[in-house]
Structure 1
């Protein structure tokens, strides 16, 4: 089975599945160039590069600036109770990892600057945060629809794992932190 957006190979060429055209009842495939990169949130695939402003400092943060580090990307919101309940454990894990080899990055969606600023201050969140706003925000660019959504990236920017529960995340970070 293939889903809309999947990359498939036919006769040695890569195509993107654009879904079924219901008018003609045909599968629409888009031929891809040889230099096409299949960015995805799936394990083993490269994570789409980005540049955004860190919320508290305004300093640009990008995936390329984090190259060489494992990166834990957390899509969350201050209004999301499962997200908020994870913060104490994430704070503990963030304190434990070697900052030369690891970075955490929060991407906050469906929120206001005022709520995020107050939350960061109250809960003493120390890792970089990006406030995703509107259709040009990172939440929409990555098609994130469920909170929290988390991705662990390797030092080359490829997805290692998605949505690890906190226990599995702690185990994985401990393995990688050796």
Structure 2
């Protein structure tokens, strides 16, 4: 079923038209798709859905992300979170895996926010009212940038991506881990905790 599988994008730096065509066109299939039971999950080259950047010296800076808060319209920016570990989650209310992982993200946020950890969502290709309902229905406490055209999404550089994607940024603003799939507390929390403990 199309709605239940992650949607592949050729890269976050692909032209907006290509991103739109892949998402709107039902996510399609490609050479990097592999069967997972009766569905397909798209994976990065080499078969990785989880990519970590260690040692820390191998990490690259993430460009600043800015835009209006989905719920309030107030300006948000990644740069305002400097000095914290930041979990960036790309989502859309139309994305079934995003719905299934939302409780895990919120739980991880609640358990780690006191340790110098922030969360920032990027709501992609979404109707704003639907996005607001998604946030309210799931009692999501962390903010999300409303990024219908994918302008902020295009600033993230990863090998390939699906929606949802989660990137964990270290205290210096560098990408430390990327999950090219839906995420669970058991996967995300240890990474966030480890990065929060880095000096």
1: CA distance between counterparts of 2:156 and 2:196?
27
Q: Specify the SS of the correspondent of 1:46.
A: coil
- For residue 57 of structure 1, the aligned residue among 72, 75, 78 is 72
1:124: which partner in 2?
Answer: 139
RMSD: 2.3
Within 5 A, what are the aligned runs for 1:82-161?
Answer: 82-99=97-114, 101-134=116-149, 137-142=151-156, 145-161=161-177
- Structure 2: which 5+ residue stretches go unaligned? 1-50, 54-58
Relative contact order: is structure 1 or structure 2 higher (C-alpha 8 Å, sep ≥ 6)? Answer: 2
Distance 1:133 1:120 in 2: 16
Q: Aligned pair 1:171/2:190, yes or no?
A: yes
Once the two structures are overlaid, the 10-residue window that deviates more, 154-163 or 126-135, is: 126-135
Q: What's the CA shift for 1:57?
A: 2.0
> What TM-score do you get using the length of structure 1 for normalisation?
0.69
Cα distance, 1:81 vs. partner? 0.9
Aligned partners of 2:114 and 2:146: how far apart in 1? 22
Tell me by how many angstroms 1:100 deviates: 6.0
Residue ranges of structure 1 left out of the alignment (5+ in a row)? 1-40
- Give the equivalent residue in structure 1 for 2:48: none
Q: 1:98–1:177: 8 Å Cα contact kept in structure 2?
A: no
Larger helix proportion, structure 1 or 2? 2
In structure 2, the partner of 1:79 is 94
Aligned residues: 137
TM-score by length of 2: 0.62
> How far off is 1:159 after superposition?
0.6
